[in-house]
Amino acid sequence: MSIVQSPVLFQHQNEDVYLFTLKNSNGLEVSISNFGAIIQSFIVPDSIGKQRDIVLGFDQMEHYIDQSYLESNSYLGAIVGRYANRISNSVFELDSQLYKLSSNHPPHQLHGGYEGFDRKVWKLESISSIPDARLVLSYLSKDGEEGFPGNLRVQVSFKLKDNNELLMQTEASTDKATPVNLTHHDYFNLNGTGTIEDHFAEIPASFYLGQHSDLVPNGEILAVENTFYDFRGVKQISKVWDPEKGYDQSFILDKEYGEWGKAAMAYSESSGIKLEVFTDEPTVQFYTGKHLNNTGVKGRANYSPYCGLCFETQHHTNAVNIPNFPSTILRPGEIYRSRTSYKISLY
């Protein structure tokens, strides 16, 4: 097990940006930056031993601050917050006070606002290689940032284990009551290139969240039975989806609230690589990348729709505006905790 810190790559807002590469004894390498806690690469051997990078991103970290990329709202490989996904009409009420948020996806707020956690330089807290390669980063989201109340202190750790599992653990505390709902926005392509239409997927969820046409949850909880949202058995994506829409849907996992369990699985027959996602979160957002449109990415290629898929583990989307959803409010004296892992094997 090892972890290697790069020299300073560049400065952003007067803060140094680095890349940290975690390696295990089986040939897995995961590179993570303190800019946006971005997973820049995830290199794994396929069924014939060929190394494949299975996450979307850029070869050079500097490209993550290019204006054209930022305007695409792709969130490639980054942590998103203070609140993942959409908050309807960029507003919520808490303790009889109405809070108006920044509206970066009018009229809604998406993934934390104009400059969410994905665009911040995180502080390096520690790196270690024994017994596992581990990176710990932190960020202080100040009171009023993007309209949210409270100084929110966030810490995220990444641990690469010898069983080919990357474990991500997040903790947060606040000095004022505030909504918190964090996730990691990694796009996977288990072939390394092309689209994910040939991938097989499984999501152990009997229900999904109903949503308006603008993808904001409306409070309905709907059964997957007899719909193309039923991934309780393994299905090839191209055989069940609407290719004009793809998937951008939140699924309620078939497990107890807060229980550790499987959130999703995907594999490619072409590469033989299988990804399993485990979490203690109650939902997973399955997104097949319909709106991807990025140029000059890895290998000087371009990303078009359906080049990657996301399994975004989180609390119920827009819960801050839907009383019958589990609460996403964190109060002083409480600790927000969330765990998710990606486990790689051969199919």
Active site residues: 185, 312
Residues 17 and 34: their CA atoms lie apart, in Å, by 6
* Gap between the Cα atoms of 154 and 341, Å rounded: 18
Q: How many CB atoms lie within 10 A of CB 314?
A: 25
Say whether 201 sits in a helix, a strand or coil. strand
Q: Based on C-alpha coordinates, what's the Rg of the chain?
A: 19
33 vs 73: CA distance, rounded Å? 18
Cα dihedral 105, 96, 314, 332, rounded to 10, equals 120
What whole-number distance in Å separates Cα of residue 260 and Cα of residue 99? 33
Q: How far apart are the first and last CA of the chain?
A: 24
Query: Helices (DSSP H) in the chain: which residue ranges?
Result: 67-72, 237-240
DSSP SS3 for 238: helix
Residue among 276, 267, 286, 275 nearest 205 (CA): 286
Q: Beta-carbon neighbour count of residue 178 at 10 Å?
A: 25
**Phi first, then psi: what are they for 142, rounded to 5°?**
-80, 155
Residue 64 makes CB contacts below 8 A (sequence gap 6+) with 33, 35, 36, 38, 57, 58, 76
**Sole residue written with tokens 């806690």:** 37
Whether 75 contacts 117, CB under 8 Å: no
- Give the pair of three-digit tokens for residue 317: 């989307």
